[in-house]
């Protein structure tokens, strides 16, 4: 004989069912809210985040993770922490396991690695420069003495030795300046002082083609460090000479233009040499597309310009060159 359910018991059962359903809905809402909160938190993080199921599928990821989808496909899910290079960028991969899911993060450490590498290379270069400086100084002294005694037909040989020594001394000076940093001692100076020093430096620079140099003839005052500004203009002019030397034409031209407005001097340096390659490397230390380059000239030029309150960049237009400003 089956037991009958009283109306009171049926009502209690129905009420209990509604209550369970309400608790389920509340729990589901709580879960959705928690998931939404988690999504907001990981979206706020600056690095790429993936929450991965045990089978390797992605349970949750932020927008940075979506952008690095191809990177995720290369990751080793079982490894803990390691570094990886992807599309010329360096990433630190961190991994943590919780329940049946794994949390992965990818932090872009390219700039940090670059600074570490530059610091290491700068220290090594500075050490080598100190070691080289003394013997180079001795050779320069001997070459100067030899120039006074050499027969006239051998003078061009000694002159080439002196020009090569000048190049080595420039590299040593640039390397030591890079390792120590640029510090400008500003004073009122005249353009003719820079111009004369620049022409003298060109006389020591070795090149074989017929190059026309067109520099501003008018004199004007600047506020700056004479030695640093001379190095600045020399770096750009020597780069232009090297570009002309690599060009197929037998002649070349280097022109410096100047304008002054609102206490700001603007200089543009044009040349007829080969086109600029790999512009992303232009102001990157120890990277150069030239056989004669050491990768420090434009980096130091940028630092010198910035130490004088200016900016530097590539000229836009039909003529190839660089533009930089100096605050008066």
Is the Cβ–Cβ distance between 305 and 224 less than 8 Å?
no
Q: Does residue 143 share a domain with residue 234?
A: no
Q: Does residue 275 share a domain with residue 252?
A: yes
Provide DSSP, 246-290. Answer: TSSSSEEEEEEEEEEETTEEEEEEEE-SSPP--GGGTT-TT--SS
In the structure, what pLDDT confidence band is assigned to residue 166 with cuts at 50, 70 and 90?
A: confident
Q: Does residue 102 share a domain with residue 116?
A: no
Q: Does residue 140 share a domain with residue 117?
A: yes
Q: Does residue 319 share a domain with residue 244?
A: yes
Q: Does residue 284 share a domain with residue 253?
A: yes
Q: Does residue 268 share a domain with residue 126?
A: no
> What is the distance between the terminal CA atoms of the chain, rounded to a whole angstrom?
109
Q: Does residue 228 share a domain with residue 124?
A: no
pTM recorded for the entire structure: 0.59
Return the CATH number at 268: 3.30.565.10
Q: Is the pLDDT of residue 80 over 60?
A: yes
Mean pLDDT, rounded, for 308-326? 89
Q: Does residue 12 share a domain with residue 103?
A: no
Among candidate residues 27, 44, 61, the one where a domain is terminated:
44
Token pair recorded at residue 12: 């209690």
Q: What is the pLDDT of residues 30-46, one digit of tens each?
A: 655 555 665 566 666 77
Q: What is the pLDDT of residues 191-231, one digit of tens each?
A: 999 999 999 889 888 888 999 999 999 999 999 999 889 98
Q: Report CA torsion sign: 36, 38, 41, 46.
A: negative
Residue 98's domain comprises 48-108
Return the CATH number at 72: 3.40.1840
What is the number of domains present in the chain? 4
Q: Does residue 191 share a domain with residue 174?
A: no
Q: What is the pLDDT of residues 238-276, one digit of tens each?
A: 989 999 998 888 899 999 999 999 889 999 999 999 987
Q: In the prediction, which pLDDT does 192 show?
A: 95
CA 49 – CA 61 distance, rounded (Å) = 6
Q: Does residue 154 share a domain with residue 60?
A: no
Q: Does residue 191 share a domain with residue 265?
A: yes
């Amino acid at each position: 004989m089956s037991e009958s359910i009283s109306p009171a018991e049926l009502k209690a059962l129905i009420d209990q069912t509604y209550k369970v359903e309400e608790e389920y809905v509340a729990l589901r809402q709580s879960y959705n809210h928690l998931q939404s909160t988690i999504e907001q938190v990981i979206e706020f993080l600056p690095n790429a985040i993936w929450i991965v199921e045990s089978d390797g599928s992605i349970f949750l990821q932020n927008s940075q993770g979506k952008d690095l989808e191809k990177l995720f496909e290369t990751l080793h899910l079982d490894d803990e922490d390691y570094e990886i290079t992807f599309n010329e960028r360096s990433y630190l991969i961190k991994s943590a396991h919780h329940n049946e899911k794994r949390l992965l993060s990818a932090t872009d450490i390219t700039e940090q690695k670059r600074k570490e590498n530059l610091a290491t290379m700068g220290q090594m270069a500075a050490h080598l420069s100190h070691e080289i400086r003394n013997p180079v100084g001795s050779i320069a002294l001997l070459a100067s003495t030899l120039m006074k005694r050499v027969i006239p037909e051998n003078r061009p040989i000694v002159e080439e030795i002196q020009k090569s020594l000048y190049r080595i001394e420039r590299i040593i000076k640039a390397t030591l300046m890079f390792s120590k940093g640029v510090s400008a001692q500003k004073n009122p100076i005249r353009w003719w002082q820079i111009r004369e020093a620049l022409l003298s430096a060109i006389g020591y620079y070795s090149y074989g083609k017929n190059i026309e140099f067109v520099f501003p003839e008018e004199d004007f005052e600047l506020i700056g460090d004479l030695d640093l500004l001379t190095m600045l203009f020399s770096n750009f002019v020597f780069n232009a000479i090297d570009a002309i030397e690599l060009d197929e034409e037998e002649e070349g031209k280097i022109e410096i233009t100047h304008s002054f407005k609102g206490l700001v001097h603007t200089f543009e340096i044009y040349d007829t040499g080969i086109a600029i390659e790999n512009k992303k490397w232009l102001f990157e230390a120890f990277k150069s597309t030239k056989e004669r380059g050491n990768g420090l000239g434009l980096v130091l030029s940028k630092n010198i310009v910035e130490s004088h309150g200016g900016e530097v960049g590539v000229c836009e237009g039909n003529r190839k060159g660089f533009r930089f400003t100096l605050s008066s």
